[in-house]
Amino acid sequence: MTGEAATLRVRRILVVEDDYLLAQVLTDFLEQADFHVVGPVGSLEEALALVENEPGSFDGAILDINLHGSNSYPVADALVARSIPFLFATGYGRDALEGRYRDHPRCEKPFDQATLLSVFGALFNNRAA
């Protein structure tokens, strides 16, 4: 296990992804890296309900931006309001993101595992600072 993965050990991550196969691959990878996965959830409504009703059930989140034609910015807003770190997992480039989230951490699809762990490591380290 890399140093970054060890730092992130036993973190609970909410996975918000509407593509079933991608959600399963992401879940498998995260579990192999010693994360506990909450979800995955594939709809805006379900993700918002988890964030609003069970924010203590996870330490961070991965958000797909496009969820069956709706964007996940309301989920991102709810996470920001609760100081829960997250990253966007998206096929969109930086310029396609809404202005307030253009510089937010993201991993472009298809992403590699090392990049994902590195971005999460930076998110959790910044949160502890």
Give the mean model confidence (pLDDT) for residues 45-70. 91
Q: Is 10 inside any structural domain? A: yes
**Best CA proximity match to 2, nearest among 77, 79, 114, 101:** 114
pLDDT at 128 over 50: no
Question: Domain range for residue 109?
Answer: 3-121
Which phi and psi angles does 77 have, rounded to 5°? -60, -45
Confidence band, pLDDT 50/70/90 cuts, at residue 127:
low
Q: Can you give the CATH number for the domain in which 95 is found?
A: 3.40.50.2300
Confidence band, pLDDT 50/70/90 cuts, at residue 37:
very high
Tally of domains in the chain: 1
Confidence band, pLDDT 50/70/90 cuts, at residue 2:
very low
Confidence (pTM):
0.84
Query: How high is the pLDDT of residue 10?
Result: 53
Which phi and psi angles does 17 have, rounded to 5°? -150, 125
Distance CA(34)–CA(98), nearest Å, equals 32
Query: How high is the pLDDT of residue 86?
Result: 92
Distance CA(114)–CA(95), nearest Å, equals 24
More confident: 43 or 121? 43
CB 62 within 8 A of CB 87: yes
Q: Is 80 inside any structural domain? A: yes
Q: Please report the sign of the dihedral spanned by the C-alpha atoms of residue 59, residue 46, residue 27, residue 117.
A: negative
